[in-house]
Structure formats: C-alpha cells, structure tokens
C-alpha cells in the first residue's frame, strides 16, 4: 500500500514524533553538506494551481539536495480539473514520477489525485488545510522550547486552512489550542468536533483576542484573505479589526511568547513590522524548517526511512 500525506492525521502520533526526529537528523546532514542522496534517479512532480514561494522552493531544493529531480508545473501547465480531469492527470503524472506534491484549490481534488495516482501524494496546501506547514511549525516549536509539554498555541485571525491543520495536529499530539477569530470566520465545525472528540487536547474557539492570548507560548497568525479570497480583502479588513497581532496583543500574553506566521505576511494588516522584526519572531526559522520537515515526510512516505 502506498502512503500519502494529505492531512496531519494521516500520521500516527508515533509517526509524527519520528518525523520530527528524522527532520532534525536530515537538517544536521544538510548543514554539514553530507553526501545524502536517497532520491538518486527519482523525480517528483510538483503541481501548483496557486502561487507559492516557500512551498515551491523548499520542496524543489530539498528534493534536489537529496539526489532527486523536481519538476515545477505551474497553474497554466496542467490546469488541473479544467483542461483535464483530476483522475486522468493523476494516472499520467504517476507514470513518469516517483512522488507527486500538489497545491490545489479544492480539497476533493487532492483526495482524488491521491486515490488515482499509484505513487505517494503530498498536500502542499488546499483551501481546507496545509499539513506540511503545521508539521514544520510544531518541529520549530520543539526546536525552540526543547519539548512540547504544557504548550499553549493561540492562533489569531481567520479560521482557515492553517487552523484546520492545527486542529488535526491536536488530534494527534496533546496541547492547548485556541483559535481567536471573528464569530462569522470560525473554522470548520466538523474538524472542531472531531478534534474535541479525540479528547487529547484542550480546544477553544474564542472571539476575544486579548483574553485568548493570555499565557500563550505561541501567538500565531496568517493572512485575513487567503489565496482565492483576495477579492474579499477589504470586507475582511473591516471585519477583522481588533485581531491584528501587534505589540499590544503580544504584551497581553503576560509571558515571553514566541510569534509565528506561515508567511507570506501582509505587513500592517494581520500583523505589524514591529512584531515581525521583534526578538519574539521565529518566522524565518519556521520558513527554513518547511524544507527539513518535508524532506522527512517524503523519506517516510516513499519508504526511505
Ligand atoms: N507558507 C507557505 O506555504 O508559503 P507559500 O505560499 O509561499 O508557499
Ligand atoms: N491561508 C493562506 C496560507 C498561505 C501559505 C492561504 O491559503 O493563502
């Protein structure tokens, strides 16, 4: 049976911990410039229906450094679901490549891609979730704190794809997760219910950012209008007033909290220059770790680790 990585919950807790350990090992090997080529003579197709900096660069560079070749297929190359059916592309691309990474709009499309492709498929973001991001984020938190005990992560902003992956992480590892968002921008109700049902983590949905951040180890934010919603940017800006992560909100934690953002950030909107450039900000460690965490995920699902 081939393995896909489409949701954080596709891995067990043990597999998530093992992925972090492997990411640490691969990161050290990369820093030492060791000869490490497990993907020699392998190719990875990267299908992008949306723009990307980090996802494209980290997957392409990571796979190349592990000995493989990565192909970038942009929005106009494949036009998945428009020029050709998802299930046809799945079978065609799998005939040429050892693994597929896809960033798509509809989550159903990545599920269909995985169903029909005979090779492993990795989700590089859909409208529903962004599992590689949250694997990298938790790995970054582990690096900075040295452990994941007594962890409170407070996400402030839109209840979007990033939040859904945080919630799924909370179904596997125990921590206290709070999503503070305007009440009409709550995350997906089914995902919240499934996370509560898992009974592992404390989950709160708050509409009061100041109260929510109290005692936070991590304050996390993301853009208020995601890819595919940019025409709603102005309406959202008005609705999200009070949800900006600025110095005042960081001070309201009452703690030496760390600041995280998946990036790209809209400076002056969901957060400020001052917070992004502060000592609390670990956004660039977070961005770097996308590559190390994903390398570990690829090694695991491709049966190389
Ligand atoms: N964080 C993230 O996925 O960035 P990109 O959209 O630039 O890939
Ligand atoms: N929520 C954002 C994340 C970008 C990495 C988006 O989907 O555009």
- Residue of 226, 264, 287 to mutate, ligand 2, most atoms within 8 A of C-beta: 226
Q: Mean of the pLDDT values across residues 6-24?
A: 98
Sheet holding 258-261, edge to edge: 202-206, 176-180, 152-156, 218-221, 258-261
CB of 133 within 6 A of ligand 1: the answer is yes
- pTM of the shown model: 0.98
Q: Mean of the pLDDT values across residues 122-136?
A: 99
CB of 136 within 6 A of ligand 2: the answer is no
- Residue of 46, 49, 51, 54 to mutate, ligand 1, most atoms within 8 A of C-beta: 54
Residue 224 alpha carbon to ligand 2 centre in Å: 9
Sign of CA dihedral 69, 75, 78, 80: positive
DSSP sequence for 229-256: -GGGHHHHHHHTTT--B-HHHHHTT-S-
The confidence score (pLDDT) of residue 81 equals 84
CA distance 214 to 199: 23
Q: According to CATH, what is the number of the domain 8-130+288-301?
A: 3.40.50.1370
Give the model confidence (pLDDT) of 17-74 as tens digits: 999 999 999 999 999 999 999 999 999 999 999 999 999 999 999 999 999 999 999 9
CB of 227 within 6 A of ligand 2: the answer is yes
Residue 112 CB partners (closer than 8 Å, separation 6+): 86, 87, 90
The confidence score (pLDDT) of residue 136 equals 99
Phi and psi at 267, nearest 5°, equal: -60, 135
The confidence score (pLDDT) of residue 281 equals 99
CA distance 202 to 83: 44
One of 3.40.190.10, 3.30.450.20, 3.40.50.1370, 3.40.640.10 is the CATH number of 133-286, namely: 3.40.50.1370
CB of 126 within 6 A of ligand 1: the answer is no
Sheet holding 99-103, edge to edge: 69-73, 43-48, 99-103, 121-123
User: What residue ranges do the domains of the chain occupy?
Assistant: 8-130+288-301, 133-286
Q: Give the residue from 167, 254, 170, 260 showing the smallest Cα distance to 221.
A: 260
Atom of ligand 2 nearest to the CA of 262: 5
Residues in the chain: 305
Residue 11 CB partners (closer than 8 Å, separation 6+): 5, 19, 172, 300
Share of the chain above pLDDT 90, in %: 98
User: Is residue 162 reached through a cis peptide bond, with omega within 30 degrees of 0 on the bond before it?
Assistant: no
- Alpha carbon separation from 261 to 18, 134, 143, 182, 219 (Å, rounded): 24, 11, 16, 19, 9
Q: Mean of the pLDDT values across residues 231-240?
A: 98
Residue 263 alpha carbon to ligand 2 centre in Å: 8
Residue 133 alpha carbon to ligand 2 centre in Å: 10
Residue 173 alpha carbon to ligand 2 centre in Å: 23
DSSP sequence for 109-164: HHHHHHHH-SS-EEE---SS--HHHHHHHHHHHHHHHSS-TT-EEEEES---HHHH
Q: Is 272 helix (H, G, I), strand (E, B) or coil?
A: coil
Nearest CA to ligand 2 atom 7: 226
Give the model confidence (pLDDT) of 251-296 as tens digits: 999 999 999 999 999 999 999 999 999 999 999 999 999 999 999 9
Residue 172 and residue 13 in contact, taking contact as beta carbons nearer than 8 Å: yes
Degrees (nearest 5) of the Cα angle 245, 211, 218?
Answer: 50
Atom of ligand 2 nearest to the CA of 263: 5
Instruction: Assess whether the region 8-130+288-301 and the region 133-286 belong to the same CATH fold.
Output: yes
């Amino acid at each position: 049976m081939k393995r896909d990585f489409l949701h954080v919950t596709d891995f067990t807790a043990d597999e998530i911990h093992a992925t972090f350990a492997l990411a640490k090992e691969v990161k050290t090997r990369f820093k030492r410039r060791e000869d490490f080529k497990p993907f020699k003579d392998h190719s990875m197709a990267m299908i992008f229906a949306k723009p990307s900096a980090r996802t494209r660069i980290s997957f392409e560079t990571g796979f190349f450094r592990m000995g493989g070749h990565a192909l970038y297929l942009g929005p106009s190359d494949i036009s998945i679901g428009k020029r050709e059916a998802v299930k046809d592309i799945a079978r065609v691309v799998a005939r040429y490549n050892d693994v597929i990474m896809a960033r798509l709009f509809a989550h159903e499309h990545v599920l269909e891609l995985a169903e029909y492709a005979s090779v492993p498929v990795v989700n590089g973001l859909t409208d529903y979730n962004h599992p590689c991001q949250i694997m990298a984020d938790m790995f970054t938190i582990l690096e900075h704190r040295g452990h994941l005990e007594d962890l409170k992560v407070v996400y402030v902003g839109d209840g979007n794809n990033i939040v859904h992956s945080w919630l799924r992480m909370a179904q596997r590892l125990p921590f206290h997760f709070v999503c503070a968002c305007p009440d009409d921008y709550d995350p997906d109700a089914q995902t919240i219910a499934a996370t509560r049902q898992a009974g592992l983590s404390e989950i709160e949905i708050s509409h009061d950012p100041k109260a929510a951040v109290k005692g936070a180890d991590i304050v996390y934010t993301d853009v208020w209008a995601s890819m595919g919603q940019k025409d709603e940017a102005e309406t959202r800006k008005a609705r999200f007033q009070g949800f900006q992560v600025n110095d005042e909100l960081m001070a309201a934690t009452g703690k030496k909290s760390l600041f995280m953002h998946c990036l790209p950030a809209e400076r002056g909107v969901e957060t400020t220059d001052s917070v992004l450039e502060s000592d609390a900000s670990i956004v660039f460690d977070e961005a770097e770790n996308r590559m190390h965490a994903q390398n570990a995920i690829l090694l695991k699902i491709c049966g190389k680790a």
